[in-house]
Amino acid sequence: MVSNRMENLHPYVPGEQPKDRQYIKLNANENPYPPSPRVIDAVCGAVRAHPEKLGLYPDPDSSSLKAAIAGMLNRTGGVLCRADVDEKGNVSPAAQDRIPFEVTPDMIYCGNGSDEVLSFVFYAFFGSDRELVVPEHTYSFYPVYAGFYQIPLDRVPLKSDWTLDVERMIGDATARDSGTIFANPNAPTGIALSRAEIRDMIRRAPKDRVFVVDEAYVDFGGESSIPLLAEFDNLVIVRTFSKSLCGAGQRLGFIVSSPKLVNYVTTVKNSLNHFPIDFVAQTAGIAACEDAAYYVGCAKKVVSVRESFSAFLRERGWEVIGSRTNFVFVRKNGVRGEETYRAIKERGILVRHFSTPGIEDFLRITIGTAAQMEELKSAMENI
C-alpha cells in the first residue's frame, strides 16, 4: 500500500514532550523567557481589530515580515547577545558584527519554522546525483531530509576536540563537486567556527554548489556569516525565531541569501503551498523584530546563566564543551549518559540524551532561567 520512499523514511525524533507530569523542560533548546509584551499586544490587538483576517488567506509573500526581519538584522548585526541598547531602547550592533551592506527584504525568505525552510533548501539545491557534505554529529534533521529527498550524505567525523574537520569537509566537497551544510554554532556540541574560518571554507569550496550555514543559535555568541553575502553568491544562511526570539511555539524561520537563491526557494514553496505563514504568526514576527531590545536582554541573560552553569559543572569534574549556544554539551568520566539522564528526570527535570554511538555519554542541557538552573544544580550535585 505504500511507496518504496515511505518504507525508507527515518523520522526525526524530537525532545521528549511530557504529558503525565510537570517537568522543568531543558531538553529542546527552547527559550525560557516569554515573547516580548509587544508581541502579545500586537497579536491580541490585530485579532480584535481585524477578526475577519482569520478567515482570509494571509499575505503569501510575507512582505511586511521580510522587511521587519531585514531591519532587525541591520540594527543588531545578526548577533543579539553582543548588541548594545541605549537608554532610549535603540539597538546597535557590536563592532565585530556590523554588516557592511544593507540587508534588504528581497534577501529574505520566510517559512513555517526553520525546519520547513531547511526542507525547501534541501529540495532546491541538493540532489541524488552527488553526496552532500555534512558533519557526522550535527542537527539530526539533516539526515531525515536527505532520506526524504533521496540525497546521499557524506558524513564527516568531528575531530577529537569535537570541532568540525574543516579540511576533510572541504576536501570531500571539492573532490565530489558537492554542496555543504552545517550548523554554526554546531549542534549538539555548541562549538562555533569564526567568520574568517567560514570565509576560507566557502572560498575553497565548489563555486557552483550551494554552501548552507544554519545559524539557529548564533545569537548566543557565534559570529554570523551574513557579512559574507557581499563576497559569495552561493551562500545560504538559515535562521529561526525559535531560539533567541522566544518563538518556538509560533513556527517562524527564514533564510538570508542573494535574491536569486531566495527566488529558487520561493519557487519550491509556491509549488507546494503558496500561503505558508498565517496571519497571526506574521503579526507576531513583525512585532518581535520591532522590539529587538527585549530579545537582546533575553540573549544576554541566557549567556550569563550558561557561563555560570558551565563553571559550576567544571568545578565538579564534568567535561563541558565550550558553548556559543543556549545549551551545553556535557559528560562526566565514569558516568553513563543514560543513567544520568534518568537520575535527573527522577528529580523532575528533562534534559536531552542521545543514544548515537560516540556521543552516548553526553547530555545536552538547555539553559533555562537562573532559578531553573539552580534546581538542576541541586539535582546534579552528587552525580
Q: What is the grid cell recorded at 5? A: 520512499
Give pLDDT tens digits for 147-178.
999 999 999 999 999 999 999 999 999 999 99
pLDDT at position 4: 67
Do residues 244 and 326 make contact, with C-beta atoms less than 8 angstroms apart? yes
Q: What is the mean pLDDT of residues 269-282?
A: 92
Which residue is associated with the grid cell 482570509? 56
Task: Work out the pLDDT band at 20, boundaries 50, 70, 90.
Answer: low
Q: For residue 213, is pLDDT > 90?
A: yes
Terminal Cα distance for the chain, rounded: 50
| Cβ atoms of 143 and 10 closer than 8 Å | yes
Amino acid 274: pLDDT: 84
Residues 6+ apart with CB under 8 A from 125: 179, 209, 210, 212, 236, 261, 264
The mean pLDDT value for 270-293 works out to 94
Rounded to the nearest 10 degrees, the angle between the axes of helix 292-315 and helix 370-380 is 20
* pLDDT at residue 19, rounded to an integer: 67
Higher pLDDT, 269 or 17: 269
Asked if residue 76 lies in contact with residue 297, where contact means CB atoms within 8 angstroms, the answer is: no
Q: Which residue type does 133 have? A: V
Q: What is the mean pLDDT of residues 125-140?
A: 96
Are 283 and 263 within 8 A, CB to CB? no
Report how far residue 291's alpha carbon sits from residue 37's, in angstroms, rounded to the nearest whole number. Answer: 9
Q: What percent of the chain has pLDDT over 70?
A: 95
**Mean pLDDT, the chain, as a whole number?**
94
CB-facing half-sphere around the CA of 84: CA atoms within 13 A: 9
Highest-confidence segment of 217-226, 332-341, 353-362 = 217-226
3-state secondary structure of 344: helix
Report residue 17's pLDDT band, with 50, 70 and 90 as the boundaries: low
pLDDT band at residue 298 under the 50/70/90 scheme: very high
Write down the pLDDT at residue 85. Answer: 96
User: Above 90 in pLDDT, residue 7?
Assistant: no
Which has the minimum average pLDDT: 15-19, 316-320, 359-363? 15-19
Find the mean pLDDT for residues 172-199.
97
Q: Which three cell numbers stand for residue 273?
A: 503551498
Q: What is the mean pLDDT of residues 196-201?
A: 98
Question: How far are the Cα atoms of 137, 153, 174, 191, 360 from residue 164, in angstroms, in the given order?
Answer: 9, 16, 16, 9, 19
Cβ-Cβ contacts under 8 Å for 185 (sequence gap 6 or more): 191, 192, 217, 218, 220, 221, 222, 323, 324, 325
Domains in the chain: ranges and CATH: 4-34+297-380 (3.90.1150.10), 37-293 (3.40.640.10)
Q: Which of 367, 361, 378 is nearest to 26 (CA)?
A: 367
The residue-averaged pLDDT of 299-326 equals 97
Alpha-carbon torsion (243, 38, 369, 92), positive or negative: positive
